[in-house]
Amino acid sequence: MNPAYPFSAVVGLADLKLALVLNAVSSRVGGVLVRGEKGTAKSTIVRALAAQLPRVAVVAGCRFHCDPGAPDPGCPDGPHETTAAGGADAAGALRAASLVELPVGASEDRLVGSLDLERALTEGVKAFEPGLLAAAHRGVLYVDEVNLLHDHLVDLLLDAAALGVCYVERETVSVRHAARFLLVGTMNPEEGELRPQLLDRFGLTVEVRATREPDERAEVVRRRFAFDADPEGFAARWAAEESALAARIARARAALGSVRLPDSRLRQITAVCAGFEVDGLRADLVTAHAAVAHAAWQGRDVVTREDVRVAARLALPHRRRRDPFDAPGLDERLLDELLDQTEPAAPDDPDNPEGPEDPDDSGGPGSGGSGGSSGSGAGDGAPAAPESAPEGGTEGARDGAPDGAAGPSEGTVSGDRPQDVAAAGAPFRVPVLKVAGVGAGVAGRRSSGRGRHGRTIGARVPTGAGPAGIDLPATLLAAAPHQLRRGRRGPGLVLRRDDLREPVREGREGNLVLFVVDASGSMGARRRMTAVKTAVLSLLLDAYQRRDKIGLVVFRGAGATVALPPTSSVEAGAARLRALPTGGRTPLAEGLATAAEVLRVERLRDPDRRPLLVVVTDGRATSGGDVTRAAAALAGVTSVVVDCESGPVRLGMAQALALRLGARVLPLESLGDLVRDRRKAG
């Protein structure tokens, strides 16, 4: 399916191929989420999948791609007459399975469809314009960078994928149509995570990463050169293998209904899901459907232990996250223990005993599943997660930063002495921090903002190249007084471009939350730094929930460093925070100056995203430049100073800094108490 990329060259690619195939065999599996670093063929292999899917028969002229053998009775283009499957009419309407791509910047209208405004306004008829969900029916819907898709679009997308139906209730249109498709999303975790409840809506997940073996990487380059030199010849060389794969998918689809899931295997599936403490029952359903699909793919008519194991490895890792800073993973030793504990005493089917896979499948997608039985996952590249991790997300193996993402090390700032790295505690809820005024940044959940989403508070003449949606009542009101003068003759309105009005919507925007953290010797007391890290971790969690970008500036020793440039990956921020050491002098002015430079550069990149500066310090400045001058460079930036000063005698230096910044002051020790006090007062 992806001959340009040998399986050995991308760790986890065999698992990805298997996950895609299982969804192609059974639409009930619920789609695939592909997580991995950039340049690992995620998009390439997904786009190649559609060509391997069996051709589908469609009703001629139906915009919703109804099946002639079983048309949707509620199809907006219906009713359709039922045609016997395989008949002449059905054969005449055969087409390849569609591959529809959903752009990150798509609107809700483009996704689900909307009123055909052109016909409504010019012909006076109410007609529905289908969206991408209709185009993807009975095909593949591919969302690249799904973690960057707006939350409300992700909700609509996953609801349709789960129900197999798209409901449209908007602008006097009430429509439902079938929307059954193979949903595939790809994402780079460095650019931000999906919410756990959205992760749960994807049936399977796969982690992919590039190999570090030079020979394997060279083979990828060699094949890419061969493709560029002769695309047709390259495709012909692999045509037989791809045809065999397509035929095998078709056979597995046809056999799916005859596969039996014994009660003993169903109990084994539910015991595994319970043993891994996943939330809800969706994991049980997905694992069961995936196990049945894998049995059909392997040519078996009864689900075996191996089918259950393969399905669990793909369906459970992303459902084990307990907080947003957890990385998906699965302890395969625990999986084998749970399977052993619940293994039936006798074979489920004497005519089909469990045993080794067909050796002829060693190079195909089935090998990705059977390879997982090794326990370590080394053969298929799926990294095993740590055996256990604290619920609070504070210590343990998962605290380490990813490659290239380590926090400032002990030699990065001169004058530091080696010190232990304090651990952070479990995060708590923090007060809501907002940027004053109304912005125009990307949709989020923090400050007031105007954009494409939110409640409509008025209408205006379009300000850009085209309207950001149409405010129908306002457009009609603008056009109505001119109909006689324009010579209207008929039911439709005579419109001009200057009649168009777009809605003005007010909702919430996401901000850039830039943390400036004092990691000097004055913060070095272990209990104190633990409290600081816990507070910042709690603020990071709040930023994650409110869809903010975050950045991290650390000052200690002789200067300040940008520990994390502005990013949507709150996980990366948490990893660098946990690895943050302390020691040295306190160059407060350098920390503020570095923050000002970060905000200046980010303002050029994303001028609509407003910043929120969070300075975590006790206010001391034992080295460096002029604090007053550095604070002046941050004039106009909404700021918060988290006062870390402790002890019976306090000098009020953090409060003095807050005055210079025009910032709100939050005492460190009361950061978590503010929310509790408000609840009691309410």
Segment holding 675, helix H or strand E: helix 673-681
| 547 alpha-carbon distance from chain centroid | 12
Using CA atoms in the order 478, 484, 489, 493, what is the torsion angle rounded to 10 degrees? 0
Q: How far apart are CA 240 and CA 551, in angstroms?
A: 51
Q: Which two tokens stand for residue 479?
A: 């056009």
Q: Which of 57, 80, 83 is nearest to 138 (CA)?
A: 57
| 167 alpha-carbon distance from chain centroid | 23
Range list of β-strands (E), 304-400: none
Query: Cα dihedral sign for 538, 541, 545, 546?
Result: positive
Other Cβ atoms less than 10 A from the Cβ of 551: the count is: 23
Q: How far apart are CA 342 and CA 16, in angstroms?
A: 28
Q: Which of 375, 371, 370 is nearest to 339 (CA)?
A: 375
Q: How far apart are CA 267 and CA 351, in angstroms?
A: 22
- What would you report as the CA-atom Rg of the chain, rounded to the nearest whole angstrom? 29
Catalytic residue, from 282, 445, 603, 650: name it. 282
635 Cβ contact partners less than 8 Å away, ≥ 6 residues apart: 662
- 596-604 contacts: CB < 8 A, separation 24 or more? 596/630, 596/633, 596/634, 598/514, 598/551, 598/553, 598/562, 598/565, 598/566, 599/512, 599/514, 599/634, 599/637, 602/512, 602/551, 602/566
Any catalytic annotation for residue 497? no
Strand partners, 232: none
Give the residue numbers marked as catalytic.
Answer: 282
